[in-house]
Amino acid sequence: MKTLSNILLGITGSIAAYKTADLVRTLTKQGFTVRVVMTDAATKFITPLTLQTLSNQPVYVDLFETEMEHINLARWADAILIAPATADFITKLTYGHADDLLSTICLATTAPIAIAPAMNQQMWNATITQENCQKLQQRNIKFFGPATGSQACGEIGAGRMLEPLELVQCLQNLTVKQPLQGKQVLITAGPTREDIDPVRFLSNRSSGRMGYAVADAAAAKGASVTLISGPTALTSEIPTIPVNSAKDMLETVMANIPNTDIFISVAAVADYRPVQQIDHKIKKNSELLQLDLEPTEDILATVANQPNPPFTVGFAAETNDLDSYARNKLKTKKLDMIAANQVGIEGLGFDSKDNMLKIFWDDGDIELPRCSKIELADKLLDVIIQRFFHD
């Protein structure tokens, strides 16, 4: 992959523009050559002189200042980072407008474009903004952030620009060869819900955090990721198919399996469902109530036992005898790998932010000590990548 050295930084009219002074400094310190292109609105928040001094390069604002400058800049850039990117500029980019220097360059370039959105949380969550972002992502435009937190307008929510250091790190990741580039990864996450009647269901404590973190880690390593998620309170930038029951999850997984290179089954799938789903609310009385349960389909085992299965990774939640139960699941379900965690310990595993894993494969194992699920997911993916390319 081409190393990025020339960064064209596009600045649009948001209060977060004040942070670009620091961003330019950090980028130049890391060895990038930075040329800044500003919209008119951006110049109300920070002066071109400040950015020119820090970048030691000319700063561009006017489309008509010099002939063909938009084409020269579009060719010069190894990557374009638009930070901060306003809702208005995102809309412009979506529809291919070219009515100022920055939007014209974006249309004229073949360089990768990354966007660091910055706006009020309501504007970020607006349906039209979200639709525009989806369209841009489909055109392979990368999104760095936004972060969630308190905003200049006094509100709290998603829409803050990432900090300069985080943006530089995201840019550097663009330059690193992505090990899972071109690979399709399918991940299940969260609990399933097995209906008893229209108002009640059986479920479990899974928050979905581990599965969502695994999906993010796989995407960060270049994979095309599809997440199939039971009901959780989480949202993800990864294309996500929501499902309810184990049966829904099985059908959705099987419909997606043919193109999958790696399947990671993180979901806490219910092992049993009520034999009958009553179509009206069960009324109480003083009698004992008996619920008859039948086993659900084992999604993981179904995938692993296909004629040409993908590289298949299971999870195992155990309260005791972790090693022997995990190894047994690895063998009986015919998995390539299993990541086992001890549940029932305060602050670890189900419904918590931290976890620890012991990973087993045919002729080896490795322990990943306690850390956040985000870090753990990254390390787990490294182990999966090693085994996937080794097998």
Least gap, CB of 211 to ligand CTP (angstroms): 9
> Min. distance of Cβ 155 from ligand CTP in angstroms?
38
Spatial distance between the Cα atoms of 158 and 150, rounded to a whole number of angstroms: 9
User: Least CB distance from residue 301 to ligand CTP, whole Å?
Assistant: 7
Name the minimum Å distance from CB 93 to ligand CTP: 39
Q: Would you put residue 157 in left (φ > 0), alpha (ψ -120 to 50) or beta?
A: left
Between 79 and 339, CB nearer to ligand CTP: 339
Give me the sign of the Cα torsion angle 375, 379, 385, 391.
negative
Nearer to ligand CTP, 195 or 271 (CB): 271
Looking only at the bridges linking them, the beta strands covering 6-11 and 79-85 are parallel
Instruction: Classify residue 49 as exposed, middle or buried by CB count within 10 Å of its CB (0-12, 13-18, 19+).
Output: exposed
Strand 364-372: give its sheet, edge to edge. 240-242, 224-229, 184-189, 262-265, 311-318, 337-342, 354-361, 364-372
Taking the complex as a whole, the smallest distance from the CB of residue 109 to ligand CTP amounts, in Å, to 43
Which C-beta is closer to ligand CTP: that of 141 or that of 299? 299
Q: Widest CA span of the chain, in angstroms?
A: 87
What number of residues does the chain have?
A: 391
Residue for token pair 């972002």? 133
Question: Which of residues 84 and 230 has its CB atom nearest to ligand CTP in the complex?
Answer: 230
How far, in Å, CA of 119 to CA of 391, rounded? 46
Could you list the residues that contact ligand CTP (CB under 6 A)? Answer: 246, 265, 267, 269, 271, 296, 298-300, 314-317, 329
**Cβ distance 270 to 229 under 8 Å?**
no
Q: Which is nearer to ligand CTP, 339 or 385 (CB)?
A: 339
- Please, which residues have CB within 8 angstroms of residue 312's CB and are 6 or more apart in sequence? 262, 263, 265, 300, 303, 304, 334, 335, 336, 337
Catalytic residues: 153
C-beta of 160 vs 329, nearer to ligand CTP: 329
- Write down the residue that tokens 């095309």 correspond to: 224
Whole-number minimum distance, CB 134 to ligand CTP, in Å? 28
Cα–Cα distance measured from residue 79 to residue 75, given in angstroms and rounded to the nearest whole number = 10
